Amino acid sequence: MSKAANKIRPLSDRVVVQPREVESKTAGGIVIPDSADKDKPIQGTIIAIGNGKYIEGKLLPLQVKVGDKVLFGKYSGTNIKLDNTEYLVMREEDIMGVLED
C-alpha cells in the first residue's frame, strides 16, 4: 500500500488512481509523438477506494479493488499531488475496464 493511500480516503464511488506512463515507442523502436496518443486510454493502478454508492437507501459496493490495474480516458478525473507524486481522483464510472494478468 502506498503512502498516499494512508493520506486520502475517497468518498462514495470515487477511487484514487496512480497513473502509469503509456509506452510511446513501438516494438520496432519507433517513437510515437504525443499528438498521436491524444485519444488513447491511460492505464493506472488503484491505490484507494471509497465505500460505494448509495442508491435507494442501499449501499452498492464498488466493482474495483485496491491494486487493480485499470484503463480510463485521457481527461478522466481530477489531478492531485501528494508527496510530490501525481494521482487522479475519479468516479468508478469513469473507469473503462480492469486489465487482467
* Edge-to-edge strand list for the sheet holding 95-99: 78-82, 85-91, 14-20, 42-49, 69-72, 95-99
Q: What is the pTM of this model?
A: 0.77
What does the mean pLDDT of the chain come to?
85
Is residue 40 pLDDT above 70, yes or no? no
Cβ contact 73:37 at 8 Å? no
CA distance 101 to 90: 23
Say if residue 23's pLDDT is above 90.
no
pLDDT score at 25: 63
